[in-house]
Amino acid sequence: MAKQRVVVLGPTTDDPLHHERAEMADLDVEFIQEAPQSEGEAIEAVRGADAIMMRGGWGTEQVIRAADQAQVLAVYSHGFNHIDVDAATDMGIIVTNGAGMCAEEVSNQAVTMALALNRQVVQTTNQLRNTGSWDRSAFMPIGAIDEQTLGIIGFGNIGRQVARKLGQGWRMETLVYDPYVAPWIISEYGVEQVFEINELCERSDYIIVVVPLNTETFHMVGAEQFDHMKESAFYINVCRGSVTDEPAMIAALQAGKIRGAGLDVFEQEPVDPANPLLQMENVITAMHIAGASTRSGWLARQRASQQVAAVLRGEWPSAGQNPEVTSKLDEKTRMPGSAGLITGHGD
C-alpha cells in the first residue's frame, strides 16, 4: 500500500496524469481521481488524502476541513480565489498553485490589448466592416506609445513580463504599485515604484492590473481610482474581474473619465450579454482566455505537481501561498524529518 494518497479532483476520472506521475516518480504515492458533482461528494473524496490537486472547484471550507490528513492543496491555475485559504491555513494545509504556468501568455494578452487600444485596431476594423466609412477623426489622437507612461498594478511573474515587454521593448516609462515587491526586483527591471495606487493612476497613460483576487485586492480599483486617472488613459484587466469595481468602471467609461478599456475578465463569468461593457466602442474584450496556450496547458500540470511533490518530500514549495501556515505545521503529524525542512524547527 502506498504511503501517501494524492487525490485529484477534476472533470473526469480517466486522465493519464502523465506530468503528475513523472514529477512524483520518486515518491511512494497513489493517485486517486475523483469527479465530484456536489460538495458532499467532494467532502468524501478528500478524506484521508495527503495531497489534494484541484482542477476545478470545491475549495470550500467544508471540503477543506474534511481533509484532516492533507499536507498540501494545489490548484493548476495562477488564481486560487476559489479556495478558502483561511480554512486551509487553520487546518495546517499548505496552499500552492501553478505559478508561472502562463506568465508569458497573460502578459502577452495585456501587451496585445495595450497595443490594440493604442492603434485602435478593433475600433477601426469594426467601422470599416460595419459602415465602410473612411472617417478617421474618431480615432485620433494616437499617442506615441514609446513616449507614454505604463502603470502596472501587481509586480509578480506576470507584471514583470509586462514590464519587460512594454517597458523595455516599447520603451515606455514604467511605474509599479506593489507594496510587497522587493527593492532589488524594482532595480533589476528598471521601473519606478510608487507607494500609493492613486499616484500610479494619476501619472499613467496605460494601467494594467495583474494581481491575485483575495480580500485585499477585491475592488481595489474603484471609483476613487478612476477619478484619479487621466481622461486619455486606458485601463486593462487580465487577472480577475472582481479586482475592479465593475459598476464604477462602467460609470467612468460612460462619463468619459477614461478613454477606454481592455478586459479579459469580468465580475460575472460568462459575462451577461446585456453588460454595457460589451456595447461600448472604446472597450475591447476577451473570454478569460489570457492564460491559454498549447504550452500553458501542460505547464500547469507540471508546476502544480512540482509543488505537491516538494511538500510530500518535506520541503516548502516555491509557490506556497499561505506562509502563515507554518505556525500550524508543528501541531500536525508529519512524515519523519519533514518538520525541520518546512518549519525550520526540527533537529
- Is the pLDDT at 340 greater than 80? The verdict is no
- Rounded to 5°, the CA angle 87-92-97 comes to 75
Are residue 69 and residue 153 in the same domain, yes or no? no
Q: What is the DSSP-derived secondary structure letter of residue 325?
A: G
Annotated active-site residue 203? The verdict is: no
Residue 21, Ramachandran bin (φ over 0: left; ψ between -120 and 50: alpha; else beta): alpha
| 15 shares its domain with 87 | yes
Q: Let me know whether 84 and 114 are in one domain.
A: no
Domain count, the chain: 2
**End position of a domain, from candidates 285, 305, 331:** 285
Report the distance separating Cα 189 and Cα 257, nearest Å. Answer: 31
For residue 269, indicate whether it is catalytic: yes
Alpha carbons 210 and 35: distance in angstroms, whole number: 31
Q: How confident is the model at residue 342 (pLDDT cuts 50, 70, 90)?
A: low
On whether the CB atoms of residues 175 and 152 are closer than 8 A, the answer is yes
Please write the tens of the pLDDT for every residue from 230-271. 999 999 999 999 999 999 999 999 999 999 999 999 999 999
- Do 242 and 145 reside in the same domain of the chain? yes
- Quote the Cα angle for 289-293-299, to 5°: 115
For the chain, give me the number of helices (H) and strands (E)?
Answer: 14, 12
Which structural domain, as residue segments, surrounds residue 162? Answer: 103-285
Same domain, 151 and 24: no
DSSP state of 48: T
Q: What is the CATH number of the domain that holds 207?
A: 3.40.50.720
Q: Would you call 288 a catalytic residue per the annotation?
A: yes
Residues 171 and 253 in one domain: yes
- Cα–Cα distance measured from residue 319 to residue 52, given in angstroms and rounded to the nearest whole number: 15
The catalytic position among 192, 196, 269, 281 is 269
Which position has the grid cell 487553520? 90
Confidence of residue 197 (pLDDT cuts 50, 70, 90): very high
Do residues 59 and 197 share a domain? no
d(CA 259, CA 123): 13
Q: Which of 82, 288, 313, 315 is catalytic?
A: 288
> Which one from 5, 160, 240, 301 is the annotated catalytic residue?
240
pLDDT bracket for residue 331 (50, 70, 90) = low
What stretches of the chain show up as alpha helix (H) in DSSP?
18-23, 39-46, 61-66, 85-90, 103-119, 121-130, 157-162, 183-189, 197-203, 223-228, 246-254, 294-312, 326-329, 338-343
Residue 16 pLDDT = 97
